Structure 1
């Protein structure tokens, strides 16, 4: 599928970008270009992954000229670059717009200018009925990518997205935050133990990305079928693994924080199909009956939003097994 291809990853030194790089190198790709603005992270990554197929390019998605030059000769682009932390975007909205929205426009136009064959953007649950600035900018990112299929004219680039919540164990997600708090202060801060979150591991996220690349069509958004957990159950699982009494401190809900995660809202259900592993939102006007049949897609049967409080919950023992398997502790 990607054998021999030339790949570029925006934001390639992040948690997902690093994991994706490892996976791509196993797929025998031709070249992987890491495009990011942090020279220290690039230096660290270069020392850890020694492979002659890797190229490291300093640059920002805000800089279209530099981005376009980096895409010369590229076949596939993975767009992972973003300002991702909810409070950061909430207090720096103009900066979030420059990176997440204008940066995405630069990615799209650079892909078209360089005749890239396929571009895939990494979305988030927070883009669904957004409550905060980060979610609003990621909603625009996703809409721009799906709309690019109408904007591109005679260019051949296919634009698609994947959408999921925080990867368990990724920087900024709740599990490593709890672990860091315990190791530093011997206590956990928690907003509301009844909050729920979808559970997705890095392997599941990468599998989703590769399914989308293999099976996706213009303008589609791939969303994985997932289970969820309560924040309280995650806290209990981590404490039991550590094996000592931990103080729990209640704190206010952060600005823009949702009680439950939603991956498909009520209005999107009409355009949502499903395969064995994923839900697929198709742009209005492009869903054809013959295409749906040839891919064995079925209209979804649910009528309520696909949210983390309406799916099967993972119990404490299952969470402990996942945490240990993912080597978070």
Structure 2
């Protein structure tokens, strides 16, 4: 699929960017070039030590910001596939710095779209978040806007064969800034801060996120929002899994935070289909033949009013399964 292709990852020095890089080099050794596009020179320097050009001759590091459309056009020249992972993602920081979040998450998305349309890119997959579904915080609102921009980009491409699609998932286990490494670090203090004892979240591994991106690259017809079928966890079970001996300090919900997350609202249900491993939300007016799409993927419409919520999910991680997942995906030295 990616052999003999030029691939670019925006925000490529992040947790998912690194996981994608590992996966692409392992699975597609014939990839022509893999470009890591990001704005942090120190992270690029560090990632270059992890992926030295002597071992990975196809890798390139390209400094730039998604806010700079001209730089994106330069970077996208000759690229076949773009994975757009660059974003400002911390909810509380976005609440405090709204202009910066809007410039990166909305303006950056628009710039990626325009640059891709100008440079002959074939396929763009943008990363979304559960917080884009029925958003109550600025981060979620900017990511919902970004999703809408990428879906609508399929309407303005004209005869250009490019496809734009989105993957939306929950908390990535062990990613930078996520709760599990935070709790592991706090464990030594003997107390874990929890915002609300009833809080739940969806859970997906880094590899699960990578697999979704690969699925979208291979299968998207353009305009889909792909959503995985994944388990939820209770935040209190995460605390028990990591540090059962620690006291719990209930600190209250932070600005813009939800008790439970959604990935499909009841309003989305009218355009949502079950693909087996994934759900997909299709555009209300798809640019392709819907009957052919449903036949090709054996897509089954969900019930009207269906919603996908971490608090009412039918699949759950418990304390023991979380411990095993932490050891497997986050910290191999973690004692079960």
TM-score (norm 1): 0.96
Query: 199, 207, 214: which one pairs with 2:211?
Result: 207
Structure 1 gaps, min length 5? none
Q: Give the Cα–Cα distance (whole angstroms) in 2 for the partners of residues 302 and 271 of structure 1.
A: 9
1:133 aligns with 2:138: yes
Q: Give the Cα–Cα distance (whole angstroms) in 2 for the partners of residues 211 and 155 of structure 1.
A: 22
SS at match of 1:103: helix
Q: Give the Cα–Cα distance (whole angstroms) in 1 for the partners of residues 319 and 184 of structure 2.
A: 16
Show the counterpart of 1:323. Answer: 326
1:291 aligns with 2:293: yes
1:65 aligns with 2:70: yes
1:35 aligns with 2:37: yes
Between 282-291 and 120-129, the greater mean CA deviation after superposition: 282-291
1:252 aligns with 2:252: yes
SS at match of 1:234: helix
Show the counterpart of 1:273. Answer: 273
1:8-52 alpha-carbon deviations (Å, 9 max, x no partner): 110110111111111111212111101101000000000111211
Q: Give the Cα–Cα distance (whole angstroms) in 1 for the partners of residues 135 and 296 of structure 2.
A: 34
Q: Give the Cα–Cα distance (whole angstroms) in 1 for the partners of residues 113 and 238 of structure 2.
A: 38
SS at match of 2:9: strand
Alpha carbon RMSD of aligned pairs, Å?
1.1
SS at match of 1:217: coil
1:190 aligns with 2:197: no
Q: Give the Cα–Cα distance (whole angstroms) in 1 for the partners of residues 50 and 98 of structure 2.
A: 34
Q: Residues 1-329 of structure 1: matches in 2 within 5 Å? A: 1-26=1-26, 27-28=28-29, 29-50=31-52, 51-183=56-188, 185-240=189-244, 245-286=245-286, 288-301=290-303, 303-311=305-313, 312-328=315-331, 329=334
Contact 2:227-2:280 at 8 Å conserved across structures? yes
Post-superposition offset of 1:295: 1.6
TM-score (norm 2): 0.94
Q: Give the Cα–Cα distance (whole angstroms) in 1 for the partners of residues 304 and 316 of structure 2.
A: 18
Structure 2 gaps, min length 5? none
SS at match of 1:150: coil
Aligned pairs, number: 324
SS at match of 1:324: helix
Post-superposition offset of 1:274: 1.1
Q: Give the Cα–Cα distance (whole angstroms) in 2 for the partners of residues 13 and 294 of structure 1.
A: 36
Post-superposition offset of 1:302: 6.5
4+ runs of 1 displaced by more than 6 Å?
A: none
